[in-house]
Amino acid sequence: MSGFRLFDLNPEQFRAATHPDGPMLILAGAGTGKTRVLTARIAWLVSQGVDPASILAVTFTNKAAKEMRERVAGSVNSEQAKLITLSTFHALCVRMLRKHAHLLGYKENFSIFDESDQIGLVKKLAARIHDKQDPVDPKLARAIISKAKNLGMSEPETTDTALGSLFSKYQNELRTLNAMDFDDLLLQARTLLRDHPEAREDWRSRYRHVMVDEFQDTNALQLELVSLLTGDDRPNICVVGDDDQSIYGWRGAEAANLLEFECHFPDPEVIKLEQNYRSTDVILSVANRLILNNSRRRGKRLWSERKEGDPVRILSAADDKTEAEFIADEIQASGPNSSKARPWTDFAILYRMNAQSRQFEEVLRERRIPYRVVGGKSFFDRREVKDVVAYLGALLNPDDDNALLRVLANPPRGIGSTTLQLANEAGAKNGKSLLAILNEPEHLDVSSSKTRSAIQRFTEDWGAYRIQLQTPGVDAASILRCILEECGYFEDLKKGCKSEQEADNRQENVRELLNALGGYCQRHPREGARGFLDGLMLEQEREEEKEEDRSGVTLITLHAAKGLEFPEVWLVGAEDGLLPHERSKAEGTIEEERRLLYVGITRARHRLTITHCSTRQKYGSVSSCGPSPFLLELIGDGVDSGSMEGILAEPMSEEETLDAFARMKAMLNG
């Protein structure tokens, strides 16, 4: 336990790490070392004789869980570390549901549908129940269904009766397929703990100390899950969060869960972490000045021992092209080829909307400045990877029609779309899966002997494959590789490629996935292929394309930047209607937009520049822009304001800076 050193903590961190029992709320401002505190708390509990297996720490992302796992491994011995549960909400729910699926009417080998699976299912159902005069937008329908589930509702709030009908059919179809979507994992786990006392007591008795990170991002359903898991009698619940960084209201997060923590867990210990280890005090004073304008918050004021630092700059540009060119020139003047010789990774450009990256990408390419756009296409979203995942899913869950349809199409098996449509209809009529119907030809009126032979050949082969994969101790990756080779998948994949290079890349992606499967099964023989598939479906922070996984200037949205930090930050497009977004005025979410700017400001370690334009290209035409009303809230000590053109000429005097502030105020006041 050499890594466990309480004397490295500041006084507030020490109090949080060594709180003995009962509920505790840790208000952890940006950059105040919350992960360090959680890790120290886990190590301290173990040092006090708490059973490591009774400790549960819940995070929102796999990345956060992995980081905490690595830190804990350095703070307690390896055997103790293995016993501690460090998990995302969704992964924890899968564990519960795999064990108790039968109580909810599911088989334990249920499939997990990701977003593309959900949209595909919505499309299929919409085609059945809607005519062309009244089309359903599958993505919108999926989003409405998802929001309803995250609010813990049994059906969406909508006046569209057709959409309400679609919701019930969607849920029925999922159950028929023995599948749950991502949101069902929370919803069904809530139902399990709420309605089944034996399951509830099982999980409560396992975990005596529960910790939840990023509590401001929890929704109503997640709060209920935590309450059900911890019980009613002064539980050992420790939550960490920052209401000033609550920026996910649009996807159901409830800042009120943190603001009203005492209503759910009475008489908690409340500890504020305000010493920031990331940014200069100049940057923090600007952030504090901004967030004080929010009325509904828990008071905290970030500070740093790094008192010296460059002033925060607020710069105006004539248009968005000038904005991009100016920033690119400044980055180039400080980059690896300059006298300052700073790495490209020092620089980040943060923006409100994804579309804002285009102008910067063009300008950076022109100057041959390497960059990466965070949030690019996922490795797991590639066609060939989704194909192989479908093979594995269909082999493990014979009721997963979506996966089987993808298998039947890649490569084509000589079973046409008309036959598959008939099989789907027969399945719906008889309450059977697609595979079951194909195995029972009496349900299908197929006149073609060629098609009948193709069906028989496929079902015989598929049955043999399933038996092979279910044999104890088998190498799942080798079996899956053989299946893909035998059925001609690799040849079919090659036919669809435009070049040898593309074919090689796609086949390499398949090999990489199979290697990952083999490695997982070796490390986790008990969970095996099912555990590997669960991990894939639960992965939220999917890796970017290999082409983007290189060092360079980071282009990233404000939402995606949360949790990250960079030596120098450019926060662009600080304009009324963009930040705050025009929707926020109608929806009453101005305070969340202010928090979003606050998050952006607190990403900067050494240097911060905020920019706005007078005109911007929008939807193919030039639009006039006014500066964000938030900019006036930033003005004070440690802030310089001016135009990019003025910066190019010479630095502004104090008098010119005050004049620029006055002009900005006049613009904002109309």
34 carries an active-site annotation = yes
Query: Per-residue pLDDT averaged across 28-54, rounded?
Result: 96
Please give the pLDDT value at position 582.
87
Residues with Cβ within 8 Å of 202's Cβ and at least 6 positions away in sequence, in order, are 99, 100
Q: Alpha-carbon distance 526 to 537, whole Å?
A: 18
Please give the pLDDT value at position 231.
86
Please give the pLDDT value at position 550.
58
Residues with Cβ within 8 Å of 633's Cβ and at least 6 positions away in sequence, in order, are 289, 290, 293, 594
Q: What is the 8-class DSSP label of residue 578?
A: B
Do residues 344 and 370 make contact, with C-beta atoms less than 8 angstroms apart?
yes
Which CATH superfamily includes the segment(s) 380-546? PCRA; domain 4 (1.10.486.10)
Please give the pLDDT value at position 293.
97
pLDDT band at 509 (very low <50, low <70, confident <90, very high): confident
Supply 571's token pair.
């926060």
Query: Per-residue pLDDT averaged across 269-294, rounded?
Result: 98
pLDDT higher than 80, residue 653: no
- pLDDT tens-place string over residues 72-111: 988 898 899 999 999 999 999 999 999 999 999 999 999 9
The 3-state DSSP class for residue 106 equals: coil
Residue 56 phi/psi, 5-degree rounding, is -125, 130
The H-assigned helical ranges of 410-444 are 417-430, 434-439
Domain range summary for the chain, segments of one domain joined by +: 6-96+186-275, 113-177, 285-370+551-668, 380-546
Residue 18 phi/psi, 5-degree rounding, is -110, 15
- The residue annotated as part of the active site, out of 214, 242, 534, 640, is 214
Q: Alpha-carbon distance 23 to 265, whole Å?
A: 6
The H-assigned helical ranges of 231-340 are 256-259, 261-264, 281-291, 320-334
Please give the pLDDT value at position 375.
67
- pLDDT tens-place string over residues 148-191: 888 877 666 665 666 777 888 999 999 999 999 999 999 999 99
59 carries an active-site annotation = no
Numbers of helices and strands, H then E, in the chain:
31, 16
Q: Alpha-carbon distance 393 to 644, whole Å?
A: 55
The H-assigned helical ranges of 48-137 are 62-73, 78-83, 89-100, 115-129
CATH of 6-96+186-275, one of 3.40.50.2300, 2.60.120.20, 3.50.50.60, 3.40.50.300: 3.40.50.300
Q: Alpha-carbon distance 361 to 354, whole Å?
A: 12
Q: What is the 8-class DSSP label of residue 7?
A: G
pLDDT higher than 90, residue 44: yes
CATH of 285-370+551-668, one of 1.10.150.110, 3.40.50.720, 3.40.50.10240, 3.40.50.300: 3.40.50.300
Using alpha carbons only, how large is the chain's radius of gyration in Å? 28
Give residue for tokens 């002033």: 311
141-145, 151-155, 196-200, 499-503: range with highest mean pLDDT? 196-200
The 3-state DSSP class for residue 561 equals: helix
Find the distance separating the first CA and the last CA of the chain, reported in whole Å.
62
Q: Alpha-carbon distance 605 to 384, whole Å?
A: 40
Please give the pLDDT value at position 655.
60
pLDDT band at 651 (very low <50, low <70, confident <90, very high): very low
| Torsion on CA atoms 254, 257, 260, 266, rounded to nearest 10 | 170
Please give the pLDDT value at position 157.
66
214 carries an active-site annotation = yes
Q: Alpha-carbon distance 628 to 580, whole Å?
A: 7
245 carries an active-site annotation = yes
Q: Alpha-carbon distance 193 to 510, whole Å?
A: 39
Supply 438's token pair.
């194909």
- The residue annotated as part of the active site, out of 213, 325, 575, 593, is 213
Query: Per-residue pLDDT averaged across 599-624, rounded?
Result: 90
* 3-class SS string, 212-235: ECCHHHCCHHHHHHHHHHHCCCCC
- pLDDT tens-place string over residues 191-215: 999 999 999 999 999 999 999 999 9
Please give the pLDDT value at position 268.
97
Query: Per-residue pLDDT averaged across 402-425, rounded?
Result: 89
**Cβ-based burial of 307 (10 A; exposed 0-12, middle 13-18, buried ≥19):** exposed
Residue 481 phi/psi, 5-degree rounding, is -60, -45
Which tops the pLDDT comparison, 335 or 137?
A: 335
pLDDT band at 546 (very low <50, low <70, confident <90, very high): very low
Which tops the pLDDT comparison, 234 or 575?
A: 575
- pLDDT tens-place string over residues 564-608: 999 999 999 999 999 999 888 888 889 999 999 999 999 999 999
> Which numeric CATH code is attached to 113-177?
1.10.10
Please report which helix (H) or strand (E) contains residue 604, including its range.
strand 604-618
- The residue annotated as part of the active site, out of 39, 59, 230, 245, is 245
pLDDT higher than 70, residue 348: yes
Q: Do domains 285-370+551-668 and 380-546 have the same CATH topology?
A: no
- The residue annotated as part of the active site, out of 12, 13, 32, 34, is 34
Residues with Cβ within 8 Å of 7's Cβ and at least 6 positions away in sequence, in order, are none
- The residue annotated as part of the active site, out of 18, 35, 451, 617, is 35
The H-assigned helical ranges of 367-416 are 383-396, 401-409
Count of Cβ atoms closer than 10 Å to residue 308 Cβ: 7
Nearest to 213 by CA among 464, 25, 454, 460: 25
468 carries an active-site annotation = no
Model confidence, pTM: 0.82
| Cα 131–Cα 412–Cα 471 angle in degrees, nearest 5 | 110
| Cα 325–Cα 329–Cα 333 angle in degrees, nearest 5 | 175
